[in-house]
Structure 1
C-alpha cells in the first residue's frame, strides 16, 4: 500500500473509557508526524463537549462506553461540522460490514499496528478530498444500516438510533485467530474463564482466546443471561443443569455436556438465579 501523506496536521481526539486503550492508541500514534493528539476523553458526555469546543479533524471513537456510547456521541454533534471518525470496538455489536462500507474505518481491540496503518491511510485519503456532504452521506449510510431504515434523513436516522436497545442487543465477540476473525454469538457461549488479561470463551464445543479482563466483558454481556460465579468464571445461566453443594458454602455447577464449574462462596447470592 502506497503511503498517503496529508498536507495538513490532523488535530486528533481519542475517546475511550478504558485507560489502557487510550494509552495504547496514543503510543501507536506518537510516530505519525501529521497526527496532533489534542486530548483524550473518558466518556461520551465529555467527548461531546470537547468536540464542540476544539473541533478536531479526526476522532478515534469507542463504540461501547457506559452512559453515552459512540453512536450517542454522533447523535449529539452538530451535523454541519462533523469530524472524520474511526470507530474502535472490542465487540461486534453492530455489523462489521456496516463499518467497512460507511465509516472512514473501524479498529478492533486490541488495536494492531497493521490495521492502524490501514486506517490512517484511509483517513489521509479522505482528508485530501473531504467534503462535508460526503461525510454526511457516509454517516447516513452507516446509521441506515444500523437502524434498518436506509430511507431516513441523517437527522431522523440519528434520532432513530437513540431508540436502539443497545444494552439488550446480543453481543457478537470478534476474536482474532491468526489471520482471521471469528465471530462468536453471545447466545452460543457456555462459560468463560479468565487468567490475567486473557479469557477462554467456551462456545459450541470450541474454545477461543480473547484478550481483555473478565470485568470488562461482564459489563458487555446480557446480565439476564450470564452470571459471575467466581472471580475468574462467568457462566451462561441457561447451560446449568445441576447444582451440587461443596464445602464452605461453595457449589459445583454441571453444564450441558457434563463440564463442571465452581461457584465460590463470595458469589452465593447468584444461586437464586439458577433456582428460579
Structure 2
C-alpha cells in the first residue's frame, strides 16, 4: 500500500456516533477523515465534492437513507467510494450485504471491530478492488424495491425474499417507423393531449399513444405520482409544492414548470413529498 492516506467521510445523523467513530479513526495513521455529514443530502454533496476513498455510511437516516445516498450518487454519475455500512441492526441481517459493501459496523462500534473493517479496506485499497466493490454495491441498490431500508433489513433477517423492481428502466416510444428509448429516470412529467401522452424528459418531449392509466401502471409509484386527472409528475424533479389562497395546490418542477394538483390527488402528492 502507498503512503497516501485513505480519504474518509463519516456519515451519521447522531452527533455522538460521528464523534466516537472519528475519535477511533484518528488512531489509525493511514486514515484521514476529511468530512463529517449529519444527513444523506449533505453526504451526496460532500462525497461528490471531496471524492473520498472510503465512507462510513449510516443506513438509517431521515431524508435520504444510506441506500438512497448511493442511488443518488449513481444518478449523478459520481464514482462510488468504498462503503462500510454502519447500523444498529444485528449481524444476521446486515451480513447479507457483505458481498456488496467492504464491511459493516454495528453500533456502537468497538476498536477491534473497526480494526477488522479497516483491514478489509486496506486490502481493497491496495489491490484496486474498490471498483468491483462499487459495481456490486450499485447493482444491489438498483435491484432493491421501493421498500425503506428498515423493511428490507427486516425481510433479510426473517429470510423473506426481496423482489426486484418490476418497473421498466426504459420506455419505448414509437413514432411511425421509429422507436425512441427514453430512460424512465429522465422523465420529468407526463400530461395528456387528447388521445396522446406528452412525455417530457430531459432530452425533450416525446409523444406516445397510450392512456394515462396504462402509463401510471408502468411507472414506479415510489417516484411517479398522479397529480391530476391528466398529469403525472416525477417527484425527483419537484422543487416545491405551493398552496394558494384559493386553496389550490401547484407543484413547481426544477425547470419551473407548474403543475396543478387536483383535490382528489392532493393527499397522495403530499405523502409522496413526505409532508
2:56 aligned with 1:60: yes
The alpha carbon displacement at 1:85 in A equals: 0.7
Structure 1 stretches of 5 or more lacking a match? 144-156, 173-182, 186-276
TM-score (norm. length: structure 2): 0.51
Counterparts of 1:142-161 in structure 2, within 5 Å, are: 143=140, 157-158=141-142, 160-161=143-144
- State which of 6, 14, 26 in structure 2 corresponds to 1:10: 6
Change over 3 Å in CA distance of 1:132–1:91 after alignment to 2: closer
1:125 aligns with 123
SS of equivalent to 2:98: helix
SS of equivalent to 1:102: coil
Give me the whole-angstrom Cα distance separating, in 1, the residues matched to 2:92 and 2:40: 18
1:274 aligns with none
The alpha carbon displacement at 1:103 in A equals: 1.1
The alpha carbon displacement at 1:130 in A equals: 1.6
The alpha carbon displacement at 1:93 in A equals: 9.8
1:106 aligns with 104
Q: After TM superposition, which residue ranges in structure 1, 4 or more long, deviate above 4 angstroms?
A: 167-172
- State which of 66, 69, 72 in structure 2 corresponds to 1:73: 69
- State which of 40, 44, 56 in structure 2 corresponds to 1:48: 44
Given that 1:85 and 1:104 are in contact with CA atoms closer than 8 Å, whether structure 2 keeps it comes out as: yes
TM-score (norm. length: structure 1): 0.51
SS of equivalent to 1:117: helix
Given that 2:59 and 2:149 are in contact with CA atoms closer than 8 Å, whether structure 1 keeps it comes out as: no
The alpha carbon displacement at 1:61 in A equals: 0.3
Structure 2 stretches of 5 or more lacking a match? 160-275
Given that 1:90 and 1:108 are in contact with CA atoms closer than 8 Å, whether structure 2 keeps it comes out as: yes
Give me the whole-angstrom Cα distance separating, in 1, the residues matched to 2:78 and 2:102: 17
Give me the whole-angstrom Cα distance separating, in 1, the residues matched to 2:33 and 2:153: 34
The alpha carbon displacement at 1:80 in A equals: 5.4
Change over 3 Å in CA distance of 1:48–1:162 after alignment to 2: farther
